[in-house]
Amino acid sequence: MPTIPTVTLNDGIAFPELGLGTYGLRGAEGVESIVAAIDAGYRLLDTAVNYENEREVGDAVRAASVDRDELLVTTKIPGRHHGYDDAIESTNGSLAVMGLDWIDLSLIHWPNPSVDKYVDTWRAMIDLRERQLLRSIGVSNFTEAMLTRLIDETGVTPAVNQVELHPYFPQTELRAFHAEHGIRTESWSPLARRSELLQEQVLQELAEIYGVTPTQIVLRWHVQLGSTPIPKSADPDRQRENADVFGFALTDDEVGVISGLERGRLWGAHPDTHEEM
Ligand code: NAP
């Protein structure tokens, strides 16, 4: 079983360089898949109120063969729970549904700028971290301008910004901003949801050279960009394949060639206009 290395977040917490996406993992089969991933070495589990599988994630944490404090559970506050009081209530609800005493990383799922409550939501998260109900606090789908506003108005920099990131959308400018401010980048849909990405010739060729799969080339690319990918797989074999990317390294040129596949957001979800409740 490979050990997934960690990096240190701006709040001092050790954070895995790769985690498990859980969107769509539900019911008894979902719990089984999440437990299989933990058995395969995954320690970071990514859920959200809106995935309607927080219960399954909590059950998997209890069923796992490792201690609770070795696992990092991420959940996300949905748009309909924005605002100070609602964010507190949302967090209490997530803790109750998961049956956990604390959440390792809580994220604002989408900024929803027309609602204009993400700063108040953030203030609640700062207080929840103070009360040790949240270990780390971060955001998802935030732009540079939104991050700057949070930092300027509260003095607290998010530990993580989880954003759409894959070779078709490498987020070069946002990653540079994160690096400048000590924000860890996390990649959602790191495999571009198994679109035609995995058939790209350059990935096929690199897979041949390194004796790995195109998926492993993509996940290694994320690691070398300094972003934590959270590939979702229900299948134990594919979960093991996805986690096994710490035994080889791409050259800087190869990383650059993969980033050259850029074509933009795949699902048109720009945080300035796309809102989710
Ligand atoms: P993804 O991880 O890029 O791709 C998942 C798809 O790839 C599934 O169909 C999976 O099928 C397949 N797959 C996984 N490993 C594979 C392998 N080794 N070979 C071939 N196919 C493979 O997409 P995602 O689920 O959209 O994103 C990952 C996670 O990011 C989500 O689960 C969620 O936790 C998070 N997310 C967050 C946001 C946000 O707004 N913050 C948005 C979207 C997603 P199998 O299960 O059959 O293996």
Q: Judge whether residue 244 has pLDDT over 70.
A: yes
Buried b (16+ CB within 10 A) or exposed e, 63-80: ebeeeeeebbbbbbbbbe
Burial of residue 85, with CB atoms counted within 10 A of its CB: 0-12 exposed, 13-18 middle, 19 or more buried: exposed
Nearest to 129 by CA among 164, 81, 66, 87: 87
* Residue bearing the bigger pLDDT, 37 or 2: 37
**According to the model, what pLDDT value does residue 2 have?**
73
Give the model confidence (pLDDT) of 209-228 as tens digits. Answer: 999 999 999 999 999 999 99
**Mean pLDDT on 138-154:** 98
Q: Judge whether residue 176 has pLDDT over 90.
A: yes
Residue 132 contacts residue 102 (beta carbons within 8 Å): yes
> Looking at the whole model, is its pTM more than 0.95?
yes
Q: Judge whether residue 268 has pLDDT over 90.
A: no
Give strand pairing partners of 72.
44
Tell me phi and psi for residue 274, to 5 degrees. -80, 130
**Mean pLDDT on 74-89:** 98
Return mean pLDDT, the chain: 97
- Three-class SS of residue 156? coil
Nearest to 29 by CA among 193, 235, 239: 235
Mutate to test the pocket of ligand 1, among 18, 20, 23, 32 (most ligand atoms within 8 A of CB): 23
User: Between vectors from CA 144 to CA 141 and to CA 150, what angle results, nearest 5°?
Assistant: 85
Mutate to test the pocket of ligand 1, among 163, 215, 232, 241 (most ligand atoms within 8 A of CB): 232
Nearest-angstrom CA–CA distance, 67 and 136: 19
Ligand 1 pocket (Cβ < 6 Å) reads: 21-23, 46, 109, 140-141, 162, 188-194, 215, 230-235, 238, 241-242
Ordered by where they begin, the domains of the chain are: 6-259 (3.20.20.100)
**Mean pLDDT on 256-260:** 98
Give the distance (Å) from ligand 1 centre to CA of residue 22: 8
Six-digit token pair at 168? 């078709």
**Catalytic machinery residues:** 51
Give the distance (Å) from ligand 1 centre to CA of residue 84: 31
Nearest-angstrom CA–CA distance, 6 and 182: 15
N-to-C CA span, the chain: 39
Percent of the chain with pLDDT over 70: 100
- The residue nearest atom 5 of ligand 1, judged by CA position, is 193
**According to the model, what pLDDT value does residue 1 have?**
67
Q: Judge whether residue 59 has pLDDT over 80.
A: yes
Nearest atom within ligand 1 for CA of residue 213: 18
**According to the model, what pLDDT value does residue 207 have?**
98
Give the distance (Å) from ligand 1 centre to CA of residue 147: 26
Buried b (16+ CB within 10 A) or exposed e, 198-216: bebeebeebbeebebbbbb
